[in-house]
Amino acid sequence: MTADNALPDLDPVIHAQARLRVVAALNVLGDGDEMPFNAMRKMLGMTAGNLSVHLTKLEDAGYVRITKTHKGRTPVTFVALTKRGRLAFEDYTKAIRALLDNAGGHQ
């Protein structure tokens, strides 16, 4: 394959299955909307520890914003997709489509 028609690279931060699921779930929210950590954990069927590890990687990449607050005396954590995260997910989905479109043409 030549450089002109090289397949795109997939973002390794998003490509891990759990992180892809997190970003996809957050992408359906509107700009600036947040999802409570516990709601996300239940929706994705993940343990709190596992979700926390993946959110840290996404936060380190600038893809998600974590907000910790309190509701009364109870601590509450909210997660939101950043503009950078939304763009990265859009690029990722374009790269996946390009890979799939090219998959049938080469044998």
Task: Quote the pTM value.
Answer: 0.86
6 within a domain of the structure (yes/no): no
Q: Is residue 5 part of a domain?
A: no
Question: In sequence order, what are the residues at sequence separation of 6 or more whose Cβ sits closer than 8 angstroms to the Cβ of residue 31?
Answer: 83, 86
Establish if 4 belongs to a structural domain.
no
Which pLDDT tens digit goes with each residue over 21-80? 999 999 999 988 999 999 999 999 999 999 999 999 999 999 999 999 998 999 999 999
For position 67, which CATH number holds? 1.10.10.10
Structure tokens at 71: 């509701």
CA nearest to 79, candidates 62, 67, 69: 67
Residue 91 lies in a domain: yes
- For the cut 80, the answer to whether the pLDDT of residue 4 exceeds it is no
Q: Is residue 92 part of a domain?
A: yes
Count structural domains, the chain.
Answer: 1
Nearest to 88 by CA among 9, 32, 30, 17: 9
Per the domain annotation, does 69 fall within a domain? yes
105 is a domain residue: no
Parent domain of 32: 11-99
Q: Is the dihedral of CA 49, 95, 62, 36 positive or negative?
A: negative
